[in-house]
Every structure is written in C-alpha cells, then in structure tokens.
Amino acid sequence: MAELILSVGIVAFNEEACLPELLSDLSAQDYPKKSTEILLIDSLSSDQTPQIFQKFQVEYGALYHDVKVLDNPGKIQAAGWNVAIKNFTGDALIRVDAHAKLTKNFLSQNARCLLSGEMMCGGKRPNIIKNPTAPKRLVLMADNSMFGGSFMSYHSSDTKHYTDSVFHGCYRREVIEKVGLFNEKLGRTEDNDYNYRVRAAGYKIAYDPNIVSYQYSRGSLSASLRQKFGNGYWIGRTTAISPKCISLFHYVPFLFLLALIFTVFLGLFGIWWPLLLLAVAYGAADFLLSVLSVLSEKPFSPLFVALPALFLLLHVSYGVGTLCGFFSLLKRQKW
C-alpha cells in the first residue's frame, strides 16, 4: 500500500512550556519521517517558541520530507492555519494543537483511516494534566466529564462513525482545495465553521477511535474559567458571522444563565417556585454526575466535594461569555 505524505501543522503563540514534549512526540512517531512534512508556525511569540521551532528544524529537518518554520503575522489561530494551508505540500494536512500530546501511532492511524477511503478523519481526545495536584485533578475531572466538557461523541466514543467535527482533524488535499481557507473573522470557533463547510461541500467526517491524542487541561480554576468564558464569547459572536456552524448544544449554558436570571427576577416579586424548580433539576443533574466523576477518580481527595460548585461556575462562565459575545455584536464592526 502506497504511503501518504502527511503534513502536520502546529500553530503556537508563547508555548515554550508545551512545545518540547509535543515535538518529542512527533519525532517518536512510527510513521516514516520521509513521508512526513512538519509546518511549525509562530504567531509573533515573545518567549522561546521561535527558537524551539528553529532548533527542531536544524536537528531533524534532514530526516523528514520537510520541516518548515513559518510566521503568522495575523497572530490568531485561523490566520495561522491559513499559513499552513498555503504552504503544505503533502497529500493531507493534520491540525495539531500546541497543548497536545500524541500517541506513538497518531500519524500512522490517520494515514490508515485515509487509505481506507475516508476524506477527513480524527479520533479520541481525552484531557490530561502535568504534575497532578488535587486542584488540577478537580479541573481535569470537570473537563473529562460530559457535564463539564462535552456530550459530543467525537471526544471519547469507542466506535467508528461519522460526526459533525473531530479534534485534530486530518484533511485530504482535495477537501482543503474545495473548502478553501479558514475564516479569519472567527476566534476559537474557526474549526466549527471549517468543519461545517467540509460537510456542506459533501464530505463526511470520520471519527476513528484508533486515532488518539490528548489535550492538556488548564492548570488552574481561573484559567479554566477564562477558557470557558472565551469559548462562550465566540459562540455569541459566531452567531452573526457563521450561524449555521453552531448547534443548539452550544447555547445550553447561555439558556441556563437566562433561566437563572429570569427565575431570580421572579423571586424578587415573591414568585419562587420557578427558581426552586430550576435549582432542583440542575442540582440533581449536577450532584449525580459529580458523584459519578468522583467515584471514577482515584485516589480520592476531600477537595473533590467542590466538583458540583465547579460545574456551576464553568456553566455560568460559559453562559456569561456567550452573553458578552452577543453584546459585542451591538458595536459597529467591519466584517
């Protein structure tokens, strides 16, 4: 079976803490290096990210099909991926996040899936942490839970199927040539929009559980809350830019926030039963899913009893972000 030339793109901004391990994972892949092209794209970093990229190019460039170090003057992720699209020469392009860890057969499993006839594919994306402490494990439990992370099947399903999106998507050249560039008006939702356009162009997105990579959870509660707020913010803004790529699921935290605000408002006028009903319904789901998460996490820490409160904070943060995203649309923008 003929080998594919796989192009791997990494877009990074001030990622000196994560890149050495990720690049080590790349160099340890069981897929032939001569059939692998690496595109290392720096988004005007102020730390050692450019130097780390250049060092990798010097040390490993001759072993690969090619190693390119490129600049992303647009700085945002969408602009960085467009740099990758304009410069890759392989049969397929794989998008790899700088906060990721790759299994040894990550590239070979992507190639196997494409060679089976798929045009775009991806796989599992469990969350992990470095230097685990009780607070970090608490945040990790929330990220890995369907209540705090995602109900989407492409995060952890054990069966191959077609889906709306995948993490670390692998795109055949034909798909990219037909779909075009990422939308640089978007931040954090550029992949939602791109994968929607992939489906609209008539291609299927294959989820293959044999393709496994990991994403590092944020190292603190504040960082996790900022991440959720930012995710929600761009859901709100994307509603005006590319509404078809957003599903009702993405608005659930916002709708919960509206319900919370409305029922509290009714309570001010002595109508408390809607707030009580909301509290009971949400509290039951929160408590049950928290217990399930805690029971599966060993060893136990007393801090884990805070998981229900963490879920609530994450949902409210996401919802507030979406609300702020909607409000931002009221300002005059040049789309």
* Per-residue pLDDT reduced to its tens digit, 185-197: 999 899 999 999 9
Percent of the chain with pLDDT over 90: 85
For 41, 89, 167, 207, 275, the CA distances from 9, given in Å and listed in that order, are 7, 11, 14, 20, 48
**Mean pLDDT over each residue of the chain, to the nearest integer:** 93
Confidence of residue 153 (pLDDT cuts 50, 70, 90): very low
Q: Which residues are CB-neighbours of 18 under 8 A, at least 6 positions away?
A: 12, 98, 99, 216
Q: Report the pLDDT averaged over residues 129-155.
A: 80
What pLDDT shows up at residue 330? 87
Kindly report whether the peptide bond that precedes residue 50 is cis, defined as omega within 30 degrees of 0. no
Write the DSSP symbol of residue 3: P
Which pTM does this prediction carry?
A: 0.91
Distance from C-alpha of 293 to C-alpha of 198, rounded to nearest angstrom: 35
Closest Cα partner for 215 from 100, 93, 109, 298?
Answer: 100
Greatest alpha-carbon pair distance for the chain in Å reads 74
> Using one digit for the tens of pLDDT, what is the confidence trace for 290-316?
999 999 889 999 999 999 999 999 999
- How many whole angstroms separate alpha carbon 294 and alpha carbon 185? 40
Torsion of CA 252, 258, 264, 267, to 10 degrees: -100
Which pLDDT does position 145 carry in this prediction?
Answer: 87
Bridge partner residues of 94 (DSSP): 8, 170
Task: Work out the pLDDT band at 148, boundaries 50, 70, 90.
Answer: confident
Q: Which of 190, 163, 155 is nearest to 79 (CA)?
A: 190
pLDDT at 151 over 70: no
pLDDT at 76: 96
Band of residue 12 on the pLDDT scale cut at 50, 70, 90: very high
pLDDT tens column, 53-101? 999 999 999 999 999 999 999 999 999 999 999 999 999 999 999 999 9
Alpha carbon distance 69, 62 (integer Å): 14
Give the CA distances from residue 163 to residues 65, 121, 153, 167, 205, in Å, rounded to whole numbers and listed in that order: 31, 10, 8, 11, 6
Q: Name every residue whose Cβ is closer than 8 Å to that of residue 269 and which is 6 or more positions away in sequence.
A: none
Q: For residues 310 and 145, is the Cβ–Cβ distance under 8 A?
A: no
Tell me: pLDDT of 1 over 50. no
Q: State pLDDT tens for residues 240-286.
A: 999 999 999 999 999 999 999 999 999 999 999 999 999 999 999 99
Helix (H), strand (E) at residue 23 = helix 19-27
The per-residue pLDDT for 220 is: 85
> Distance between CA 67 and CA 8 in Å, rounded?
10
CATH superfamily of 6-218: Spore Coat Polysaccharide Biosynthesis Protein SpsA; Chain A (3.90.550.10)
* Residues carrying CATH 3.90.550.10, the chain: 6-218
